[in-house]
Amino acid sequence: MNKLLLIAALFCLATAQTVQECPTDGSVLECVIQDSPVCGIRSLTNGKQIKETFANYCAACNVGKVEYTVSGKCESYPAQAQFCSPAQSNAEICTMIYDPQCGYFNQQVNCLVPPCNIDQYNRCKTCSTQNVLYTIKGKCPSH
């Protein structure tokens, strides 16, 4: 039963994993009425994230408090997921501070045995690994 739930959850995530950065110049986007739910992400100074589901990318970014969006409803991801921002995904240099993180890959990575994840020694290293969508603090669960 647990395997069936895990497969269903991974299928849902596999269909919804595009990250889009919101404009930072204060411009207002012209939105069309389109129901394509996104999870809007805003990072706090303490490293936590505020996540809120919006009807679409345009609606999320026009609020002005969302930095980037991830396709799909926030509720379709684990509550403890910390999404990798576009800037974190492009980091070239990371500290060597040990703070284990489990990184979960986006749908571009096909795994033979789900879940598709990787252990890294800190969040920066995890997010800068190609195709990692989000992290969860601690080591990855064993299969």
- Give which of 139, 101, 136, 137 is closest to 122, Cα–Cα: 101
One-letter amino acid of 8 = A
| Residue 143 lies inside a defined structural domain of this protein | no
Measured on CA atoms in the order 88, 90, 93, 98, is the torsion positive or negative?
positive
Q: pTM here?
A: 0.80
Identify the three-state secondary structure at position 77.
Answer: coil
Q: Which two tokens stand for residue 40?
A: 């809007």
As a whole number, the mean pLDDT across the chain is 85
Q: How many domains does the chain have?
A: 1
- Note the pLDDT tens digit of each residue in 98-119: 999 999 999 888 888 778 999 9
In whole angstroms, give the CA distance from residue 48 to residue 83. Answer: 10
Domain residues for the domain of 83 are: 2-137
| Residue 142 lies inside a defined structural domain of this protein | no
pLDDT at 5: 33
In whole angstroms, give the CA distance from residue 60 to residue 116. Answer: 28
